[in-house]
Amino acid sequence: MLRTALRNVLAHKARLVMTALAVMLGVAFVSGTLVFGDTVAGAFRGASAKNLDGVAVAVQDGGTTAAPEAKPGDFKTALDDQLAQRIAALPGADSVRPTVNGRATLAAKDGKPLNADADWQNLAVNYAPGKDGKDPLYPLAKGRAPASSGELALDTKTAEKAGYRVGDTVRFATDGPALTKKLVGLVDTDDPRVTAGGTLALFDTATAQKLFTAPGYYDEITVGARPGTDQVKLTDEVRALLPGEDAATATSGQALAEQQSREIAESTGSLTKALLVFAGIALFVGAFIIANTFTMLIAQRTKEIALMRAVGASRKQVVRSVLVEAALLGLGASAAGFALGLGIASVLPALLNAGGAGLPDGPLIVSPSAFVWSLVVGVVVTVLAAWLPSRKAARIAPVEAMSTVDAPPKTRSLVVRNVAGALLVAGGMPFMLYVAGLDKPAEVDLLTALFGAGLFLLGLIVLAPLLSRPFIALAGRLTQRLYGVSGKLAKENALRNPRRTAATASALMIGLCLITGLTVAAQSADRAVAAEATTGLAADYRISNSAYRGIDRDAAGKVAEVPGVSAAAPLASATGETRGGYLSLTGGDPATLGKVTDLRFTQGALADVGPGKIAVSSELAKERGLRVGSQVEAGLGGRFVDGVRKGATTKTFTVVGVFEKNRTVEQALGTLGDVLPYATDQKLDEVLVKAESGASGLDGKIRDALGNSPLLKVQDRDQIVASEVGAVGTVLNMMYGLLGMAVLIAVLGVVNTLAMSVFERTREIGMLRAIGLDRAGIRQMVRLESVIICLFGAALGIGSGIFLAWLNSGITGGTLPGYETVLPWLRIGLFIVLALVVGVLAAIWPARRAARMDVLGAISAS
């Protein structure tokens, strides 16, 4: 029986190639994901190891010594020159590197901000030369190190991206106004934040302290140990020198490496798991193709299997023969899939970094476990998919060896299958109906929604043969009317075996269901976010700080003087504590705020807001029991120490109005004079600008009026909406790419089914040719059959995707009050066109093969 299995694999190479491709693509996704996870984790560990190379002890400021009102240049930490000197005097200390850390957003040479929306990646540090006059962390690639307050260095990638050369003047911002310094050198760096798209600016130590801390103070001190020194002992000695229990911390280099390794494993593990979900979807789709292929192969080998049974083969031997054949197929396809997965893993980091993932560079890491799991997954999925067809093969009676090839196949009842499918669909509905009615969904509700949707989708797959009959019959009427005999034959062929047709269409259905569901949910969320982003906003421009560090309080006055500006309204915010809980208080000028906002008052009016008088949102009023005339006592300002706000100023406000919820003013509105003293750094959050009728090009004029700092963000209404919904589009495009693998596997399934169906109908096609159907008619018949099957899969997939997105709207709608299910008709139309294209393309090879059959040879085929 083993020899028989080997012979069958070799005898049906052409028939199994599409199945092998399906297994290969699914395994490639799995292996690529596993190798990608190992590679990214290794790259992070490698970058971390380089940054910690030679570090025996890391001393970091605890952040408790600086005064809350301290600003850059006067921000004193627990780490100063005296502490660095005392650490350097320890017997085991070989080197001490004091570090100043900050952020600096650069302007490119053309004046545009560089990486402004990823401020956390824009590093700024001091160049700390060692005994040899060089900084080992930042080796010079060109020029020299910065040595005075008017100089800086950049990493080579940043300089290339910004268009700077040594000798150019670089414009940047660290907090607010733009600064300029001369570029004197370029350095190399392995910092993953920089290699993944961030920027690096280096200053001499004195300049860095002036920009980010205070003269003589640092954020971190790293200590190198002499050969033979015990790290733990040296760490204890350094810890004994620290000025307080919470003022600073000392961690050994080994402990720091272990901590970073754990964090890396957690962060990369979650991404790997997410990708494995899509790999599982691809394998699930591939399982349909495998089962379909083996079912058709067994139907074609009925006589052969019956003869084996007649000469003494037992049912178990027949089952084992088919499963061995499947295992061999799975093993070969899995090995090829693993090789393809290596290619996927090599390009995936670059693709994710293009979307701003921030992954570091590193060599491809191929672990034995990734190879083993890829083979195991591929073989197991293939064998499981072939199990039911093998059971069917074992039930073939020996007497069937004497049957003629023209005997019609036995018609199997669908009653049990239909009942099971109906039960699965009914079982999933209660879970989805529960989720649809949620107002505030929790994390566990997402699992409930997924479980219900999974049951429903599985039930739909089981019911697909039943559903295929009316759809194909309806589509067949159209094809018969348009294409005559070819259209009628295509319909009859699709209806001949509803199980096979359903299995082929289900593979496409799964991919299109997920894609459609995601598209509907994303489009609906986009619409809700866009509406919410501009609720209550009548301004034409919004000015803010891209690093969330506030805007100077005189910015509104400068903007108001720009020609073409009708009104400029400053907004600031302060947080406070009331007896009812947390309070967010927004401050503005009521006189100008009415020109840039569309606040709708249900009680009182905007003009009533004044010193000591506030308006509150309808939600806050309902939650706290407030109304016009209520008194609100709030503790504003101060800072949190051990979770308790200290140093707050208590102020009492009178409620003079209630307004409907909006994004511009969230909870409460007061005057700028009441709020600004308690805002962070006493700065504005934003300035809303109303343009005069016909005014254009104001964004550039506004930037110039405010010093054109790279941190300055000037957005019109379209850009405000785009910034709110942009992330949704990026995620959706990534999902399309990941689910595209499942659709590609489904296409292979259609090709496979048609090719094997053509082989089954060899004599039939020969007879059709003999009685006058020309080659063009044969090709048209196969194409129409393919299109009908694909349209059936598309109808199920698109319809179920819309239905599931609507039922599960409670998950998304619970977090977006204005959420309503919106159908993206254009994309739905594109999905239908995609199904038509898939049907036509999938039929090219089978139709060509059918049309080229020799008439006499086909009729005499046995």
pTM score > 0.75 for this model? no
Residue 19 domain flag: no
H-helix or E-strand containing 513? helix 498-533
- Predicted pLDDT of residue 209: 93
Domains of the chain: total: 2
Residue 355 domain flag: no
Is pLDDT above 90 for 159? yes
Q: Where are the alpha helices (DSSP H) in 395-484?
A: 415-436, 443-483
Q: Which residue has the tokens 């600008």?
A: 689
Cβ atoms 413, 419 nearer than 8 A? no
Q: Which of 705, 730, 754 is the last residue of a domain?
A: 705
Residue 605 domain flag: yes
H-helix or E-strand containing 636? strand 631-636
Who wins on pLDDT, 97 or 764? 97
* H helix and E strand count, the chain: 27, 26
Q: Which of 197, 230, 262 is the last residue of a domain?
A: 262
- Predicted pLDDT of residue 649: 86
Rounded-to-integer distance, Cα 584 and Cα 311, Å: 85
Tens digits of per-residue pLDDT, 431-449?
888 877 776 666 677 778 8
Residue 219 domain flag: yes
Residue 374 domain flag: no
Tens digits of per-residue pLDDT, 175-186?
778 899 999 999
pLDDT confidence of 587, banded at 50, 70, 90? Answer: very high
Tens digits of per-residue pLDDT, 273-323?
777 777 777 777 777 777 777 777 776 667 777 777 777 777 888 788 878
The first and second tokens of residue 54, run together, are: 């030679």
Averaged pLDDT, 198-218: 92
- DSSP-derived secondary structure for 641-672: ETTEEES-EEEEEEEEEEE---SSS-SEEEEH
Tens digits of per-residue pLDDT, 755-782?
767 766 777 777 877 887 888 888 888 8
| C-alpha dist (Å) from residue 545 to 529, 682, 689, 719, 733 | 21, 14, 15, 15, 28
What residues make up the domain containing 628?
552-705
Is pLDDT above 90 for 167? yes
Rounded to the nearest 10 degrees, what angle do helices 368-394 and 315-354 cross at?
Answer: 140
* 209 burial via Cβ count (<10 Å: 0-12, 13-18, 19+): buried
pLDDT confidence of 723, banded at 50, 70, 90? Answer: confident
Phi/psi at 104 (5° precision): -140, 125
What's the one-letter identity of residue 737? G
Is pLDDT above 90 for 586? yes
- Predicted pLDDT of residue 485: 86
Rounded-to-integer distance, Cα 201 and Cα 154, Å: 5
Beta-bridge partner residues of 725? none
The first and second tokens of residue 852, run together, are: 């080229």
- Predicted pLDDT of residue 324: 83
Q: How many residues does the chain have?
A: 862
List of residues 6+ apart from 448 with CB closer than 8 A: 431, 434, 435
Q: Which residue has the tokens 């150019």?
A: 168
Rounded-to-integer distance, Cα 12 and Cα 667, Å: 71
Residue 512 domain flag: no
Residue 86 domain flag: yes
Three-state secondary structure of 45-95: HHHHHHHCCCCCEEEEECCCCCCCCCCCCCCCCCEEHHHHHHHHCCCCEEE
| C-alpha dist (Å) from residue 634 to 341, 584, 614 | 59, 10, 12
Cβ atoms 106, 168 nearer than 8 A? no
Cβ atoms 702, 613 nearer than 8 A? no
Q: Which of 262, 296, 313 is the last residue of a domain?
A: 262
Helix, strand, coil distribution of the chain in percent, nearest 5: 55, 15, 25
Is pLDDT above 70 for 623? yes
Is pLDDT above 70 for 815? no
Who wins on pLDDT, 432 or 223? 223
pLDDT confidence of 476, banded at 50, 70, 90? Answer: confident
Tens digits of per-residue pLDDT, 335-386?
988 998 888 888 877 776 665 566 677 788 888 888 898 888 888 888 888 8
pLDDT confidence of 707, banded at 50, 70, 90? Answer: confident
Q: Which residue has the tokens 């029986």?
A: 1
Residue 136 domain flag: yes
